[in-house]
Structure 1
Amino acid sequence: MPVLDGISLGGSLARLEKDHARSVDTRDPADAFTRRWRFTSSRLPTCSNAACSSGWLRLWRGRQVPVFEGGWVCGPQCSKLVVGNAIARELKGWDQAVNVHCHRIPLGLVLLSQGAITRDQLRGALARQRTCGGRIGAVLQLDQEVTERMITRALGAQWGCPVLTLEDYSPDLMATFSPRLLLDAFGFLPLRVAGSALLYLGFEDRIDRSVSFALERMTGLRVAAGVVDGRAFAAAHRRILESAFPPARLVEAAGMNALIGTFTRILEETKPIDARIVRMHDYFWMRMWKRTDGSLKRAGCLAPIEDVLGSLAETGL
């Protein structure tokens, strides 16, 4: 390190500690040391890669980004390791997860238990279903005595979830919560945020726990999933698909190493102020929050977002 740079950095750190020392109670040396160490550590974080051997502090490294899952990374090699660890974490339990099947009471029996239909109606609907196919709910609605609302209530009972409405639904705002490809492929509908801590998530006929869990971890919000009346869901889903979504890149990699390498390269090129990876069924989803310039901050805008969706060709993911 050049002498001048060393003096400058050393002087900066000394002034930082001197300014903070004025507020530290020095009557207890141990307490003063502990508080000063915590202050310096929080202001001068080290690389978030636990296996990093460089010992770089952010002040000395000369780069403030990228930040990945809340932790600064000092260089491309460490970026590759933290991205690889995140993808490996998301891949854990995949073989078991794809084979999980939840046994639930058939919808026809739920409707029968609620008194919405008779045994004869159920037998007739099952016979028509065997002949013509289709979902039992749609077949039952051919009988004008069975309404869409009755079917939705039964679906809520079947899945143990609430029936949600489209109250305060804003498709343009909700389009920022997920890439368009995922929303279209897996048939879910972000409805609204309540109290800045709860995201209501709608489905048409079944709750997708993989979707709920991925959105909960990506957004940091608690997700309350429920079912929405079929026609209302279809109309709202069409509206949100016509909205503007954050820009997204689609990556298909031949293997795990290729996927990690591509995600790392994009992370290093974009240099986001934060990024996170979650898995939603077949896709690894990396969301990056970018820097904002002064005009955006003054306007109260959120950080720009860019999404990357990756899949592994060799495993069918």
Structure 2
Amino acid sequence: MPLLEKKNDFGRDRHTTQQQPGRMKMSGVGNETRRNNFDQGLGITDSTYGLPSVLGWADAPANGGRLAGLFATCANSDCASGWLHLWRSRSGPIFERGWSCSANCTSMLLQAAIRREMGGRQSETISRRHRVPLGLVMLEQGWITPDQLRQALDAQKNAGQGRLGTWLVQHLGVAEQLVTRALGLQWNCAVLPLDFHDADGLATVLPRLFIEAFGALPLRVAAGQILYLGFEDRLDRILALAVERMSGLRVETGLVRESMFVSAHRQMLQASFPNSELIEASSESALVRVLTKAVERAKPVESRLVRVHDCLWLRMWVRPQVGPLPNTGDVEDVICSLGSS
């Protein structure tokens, strides 16, 4: 389901209220409207953004345009300013490790990134391997009887709603742990524990909207390098890949027991998230304009753009990041609807 359909067509609300931490500001493009992992020891792969090397926060640019200064090089390969940019007092913005010497160059960098992310949108197909039905998995493992399976399926059919696992647990006395283990076998993934969950400390992993809409639950960061991302009954590998590209952390996904997930997910949604703005664009040019305006306004020390299903996610670091995750006030998110065209 497209994200905006789930969120009641956000982009058409022109009313703006005082923004609270973690709340989204909504706007329509028609109204004109950082995450390197800055630790020296961490970074992303060469193919993540098409950038040539892993960079620490203080590293010099490998492709030009990394640090602004008298002899800085604009990251836009089609920059027409030549030597004139030497006289511009401009320390930012930085987009995907590249400094832009003007708003026009920022616009061109963003346009290229948008086309990169949208490139396979129309023809995108998600490879889905055949999954053995949950009931058959549990039957094969000896965790339920044929009679229990038949009763649960009949009850589900008569009610016209509910997941099979829920019927087995709530009405036939099957242990919830067994249902979760069966889902893990079905999705070929681990069942993740939920110990010492720090919702506020993990609120900068991804925007609140994605956590709510896609049923994701950041669990913990291990050794400053691995992020564990939990789901209730099915994995979202597209979201996991987007988080990995944005954060530079390796993302491991798995399932969490339903009762534990529901409680932790509810608590997660109450955490303090970075400020977010939701934008609905009718065309690529309109999207480029509004994102350029956002980047030029924030003058981030780093910013990145990734695609998440039918959305583009722009994250801007307004201050350098220390540690595996940014602080709440150090990043701003812009979530863009790609429209239907």
Q: TM-score, normalised by structure 2?
A: 0.74
Aligned-pair distance for 1:136? 1.0
Runs of 4+ displaced beyond 6 Å? 40-43
Aligned-pair distance for 1:42? 7.9
Which residue, 117, 129, 138 being the options, matches 1:111? 138
Instruction: Give 1:143-162 correspondences, 5 Å limit.
Output: 143-162=171-190
- Number of the residue aligned with 2:151: 124
Do the aligned partners of residues 113 and 96 (structure 1) sit closer, same or farther apart at CA in structure 2, a change above 3 Å counting? farther
Which residue, 104, 115, 118 being the options, matches 1:77? 104
Instruction: Tell me the amino acid that sits aligned with residue 311 of structure 2.
Output: Y
In 1: Cα distance, 2:158 partner to 2:65 partner: 70
Aligned-pair distance for 1:45? 3.7
Confirm whether residue 233 of structure 1 aligns to residue 261 of structure 2: yes
Aligned-pair distance for 1:246? 0.3
Cα distance per residue 1:180-219 (max 9 Å; x no partner): 1111111100110000100000000000011101100010
- Number of the residue aligned with 1:22: none
Higher relative contact order (CA 8 A, sep 6+): 2
Do the aligned partners of residues 183 and 266 (structure 1) sit closer, same or farther apart at CA in structure 2, a change above 3 Å counting? same
In 2: Cα distance, 1:217 partner to 1:161 partner: 21
5+ long unaligned stretches in structure 2: 1-61
Contact 1:184 1:241 in 2 (8 A): yes
Instruction: Give 1:1-317 correspondences, 5 Å limit.
Output: 44-56=71-83, 60-97=87-124, 100-133=127-160, 134-291=162-319, 302=327, 304-315=330-341
In 1: Cα distance, 2:83 partner to 2:231 partner: 47
Instruction: Tell me the amino acid that sits aligned with residue 111 of structure 1.
Output: M
How many equivalent residue pairs?
Answer: 271
In 1: Cα distance, 2:314 partner to 2:65 partner: 28
Q: Which has the larger radius of gyration?
A: 1
Do the aligned partners of residues 78 and 276 (structure 1) sit closer, same or farther apart at CA in structure 2, a change above 3 Å counting? same
5+ long unaligned stretches in structure 1: 1-37
Do the aligned partners of residues 128 and 75 (structure 1) sit closer, same or farther apart at CA in structure 2, a change above 3 Å counting? same
Instruction: Tell me the amino acid that sits aligned with residue 289 of structure 2.
Output: G
Instruction: Tell me the amino acid that sits aligned with residue 281 of structure 1.
Output: H
Do the aligned partners of residues 247 and 42 (structure 1) sit closer, same or farther apart at CA in structure 2, a change above 3 Å counting? closer
Please give the root-mean-square deviation of Cα atoms over the aligned residues, in Å.
2.4
Which stretch of the first structure deviates more once superposed, 115-124 or 93-102? Answer: 93-102
Percentage of pairs with the same residue: 47
Aligned-pair distance for 1:169? 1.2
Instruction: Tell me the amino acid that sits aligned with residue 77 of structure 2.
Output: A
Structure number with the higher helix fraction is 1
Contact 2:148 2:172 in 1 (8 A): no
Contact 1:291 1:304 in 2 (8 A): yes
Instruction: Tell me the amino acid that sits aligned with residue 81 of structure 2.
Output: S
Q: TM-score, normalised by structure 1?
A: 0.79
Q: Secondary structure at the match of 1:141?
A: helix
Instruction: Tell me the amino acid that sits aligned with residue 334 of structure 2.
Output: V
